[in-house]
């Protein structure tokens, strides 16, 4: 399973490196969305830092939805899907590989967006740096859940609409835990409970994905 | 089944090992559906079917797929990866040695295109890449969905020669096409399909 996961993750990241969709489309979109959030809060800096964690995760969800659609879109051509199906790859490994590649892409985007938070939303540099570990865990869990729901909606008509509708309830606890832990890192407070929720969610989505991805592929 | 209508109905088919079969028929005749059924890509809702000793009705289709090679008319690989990257991915997935890669590329005439992204290949070159993928896999059953579409005469001759080779080596090949094969080299069994049924056969 690990061999297949590394193979699939390497393939997805190579496709990303070649197509530059992340670099030229997703990251600029995320930065623009963050900038618009900053403008919407007004010219005064008061309140920006408090709103920053929530706005950061709103933007993260938007870019994650783009990335999930992209990640599954490369497999969706009927001929490609059939060819890959006949390779007989372990579905658990395929899930892990796609989730890993998506997580790496989200981590890179997340780091850029955190930099944007410092510049646009005036979050303190020290607090933002302290938030990075929890952000990485939450983004990993979003990648796991997103890969699962992406497989559920890929190929169906209205996939672009269905994906956010179906996945947002799964993302909700992650976004709450992420926002709270980022807020605690910026303004002080206990991070432990949010860490526990984040890690349990990450493990849960990965376990469910490994078990169910094959069933979703077949359906 | 699509919207309550069966994709295939009344299909009675027996394929010999090391043979070439051509499915001909108009669009919607059921050619691709039959190929997908043989590949284990769709399930059998009614009736009986065995491919390479695996029962199509019992849900072991994933096992069947490992022995089947599929070439779709709309490409069978990742457009953003180069020719070599696509083949390397397939070889690693199948745990085949990468040393086979150069020989396969040479066989299909794509040696000079190794670093070209698949999306920049012409229709004929894309078919050749699909064939390279299959040559690397060496499947027992080759299922080719309209491989002759938009190929020039040179491309068709190349395809015919290669199909003749793989059948001679013992593989079973099923090809879908709009018209019967014109090649004098190959002596396929031609099955005519219409409305999800086989309505005619000739050898």
DSSP H or E stretch at residue A32: helix A27-40
Contact by Cβ (8 Å): A209, A99? yes
Count Cα neighbours of A31 within 13 Å in the Cβ-side half-sphere.
15
Mean pLDDT over each residue of chain A, to the nearest integer: 85
CA dihedral B65, B70, B74, B75 (to 10 degrees): 100
For the segment B36-51, what is each residue's pLDDT rounded down to a tens digit?
888 888 777 777 888 8
Domain ranges of chain A: 2-218
Nearest-CA distance A186 → chain B (Å)? 41
Percentage of chain B beyond pLDDT 70 is: 91
Contact by Cβ (8 Å): B3, B172? no
Number of H helices, E strands in chain A: 9, 0
Whole-number CA gyration radius for chain A:
18
- d(Cα A129, Cα A68) in Å, to the nearest integer? 26
Which of A139, A57, A69 shows the shortest CA–CA distance to A100? A139
Nearest-CA distance A20 → chain B (Å)? 10
- Residue B17 CB neighbour total at 10 angstroms: 11
Q: Do B69 and A80 touch (CB under 8 A)?
A: no
List the pLDDT tens digit at each of the 219 positions of chain A.
888 889 899 989 999 888 888 788 889 999 999 889 888 887 776 677 788 889 999 999 999 998 988 888 777 776 677 777 777 788 888 899 999 999 999 999 999 999 999 888 888 888 889 889 889 999 999 999 999 888 877 766 666 677 777 888 888 888 998 898 888 888 887 778 888 888 888 898 899 888 888 777 776
DSSP H or E stretch at residue A193: helix A192-218
- Exposed / middle / buried, residue A177 (Cβ in 10 Å: 0-12, 13-18, 19+): buried
Strand partners, B151: none
Cα angle value B89/B91/B94 (rounded, 5°):
105
ipTM reported for the complex, 2 dp: 0.77
Most A CBs within 10 Å: which of B70, B96, B116, as the mutation test of the A interface? B70
Considering only CB atoms, A77 lies closest to which of B39, B70, B75, namely B75
Please give the DSSP secondary-structure letter assigned to residue B3: T
Task: Kindly state the tokens that stand for A18.
Answer: 């070649």
Max CA separation in chain B (angstroms) = 49
Nearest-CA distance B170 → chain A (Å)? 20
- Amino acid B38: pLDDT: 86
């Amino acid at each position: 399973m690990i061999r297949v996961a590394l193979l699939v993750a390497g393939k997805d990241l190579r496709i990303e490196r070649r197509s530059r969709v992340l670099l030229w489309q997703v990251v600029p979109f995320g930065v623009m969305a963050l900038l618009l959030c900053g403008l919407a809060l007004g010219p005064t800096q008061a309140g920006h830092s408090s709103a920053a964690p929530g706005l950061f995760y709103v933007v993260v969800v938007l870019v994650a939805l783009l990335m999930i659609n992209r990640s599954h879109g490369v497999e969706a051509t009927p001929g490609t899907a059939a060819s890959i199906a006949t390779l007989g790859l372990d579905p658990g490994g395929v899930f892990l590989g796609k989730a890993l590649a998506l997580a790496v892409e989200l981590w890179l985007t997340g780091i850029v967006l955190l930099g944007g938070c410092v510049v646009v939303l005036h979050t303190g540099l020290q607090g933002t740096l302290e938030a990075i570990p929890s952000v990485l865990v939450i983004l990993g869990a979003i990648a796991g859940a997103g890969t699962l729901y992406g497989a559920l909606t890929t190929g169906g008509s209205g996939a672009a609409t269905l994906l956010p509708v179906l996945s947002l309830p799964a993302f909700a606890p992650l976004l709450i835990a992420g926002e709270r832990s980022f807020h605690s890192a910026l303004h002080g407070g206990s991070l432990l409970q949010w860490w526990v929720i984040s890690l349990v969610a990450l493990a849960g989505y990965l376990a469910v994905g490994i078990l169910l991805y094959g069933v979703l592929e077949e359906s | 089944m699509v919207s309550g209508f069966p994709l295939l109905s009344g299909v009675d088919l027996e394929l010999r090992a090391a043979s070439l079969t051509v499915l001909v028929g108009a669009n919607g005749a059921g050619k691709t559906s039959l190929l997908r059924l043989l590949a284990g890509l769709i399930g059998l809702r009614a009736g009986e079917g065995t491919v390479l000793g695996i029962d199509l009705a019992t849900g072991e289709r994933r096992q069947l797929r490992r022995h089947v090679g599929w070439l779709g008319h709309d490409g069978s690989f990742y457009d953003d990866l180069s020719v070599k990257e696509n083949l390397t991915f397939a070889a690693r997935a199948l745990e085949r040695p990468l040393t086979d890669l150069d020989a396969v590329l040479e066989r299909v005439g794509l040696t000079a295109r190794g670093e070209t992204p698949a999306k920049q290949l012409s229709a004929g070159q894309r078919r050749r890449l699909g064939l390279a993928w299959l040559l690397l896999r060496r499947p027992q059953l080759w299922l080719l969905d309209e491989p002759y579409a938009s190929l020039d005469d040179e491309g068709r001759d190349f395809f015919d020669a290669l199909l003749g080779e793989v059948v001679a080596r013992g593989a079973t090949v099923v090809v879908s096409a709009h018209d019967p094969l014109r090649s004098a080299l190959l002596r396929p069994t031609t099955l005519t399909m219409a409305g999800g049924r086989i309505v005619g056969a000739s050898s």
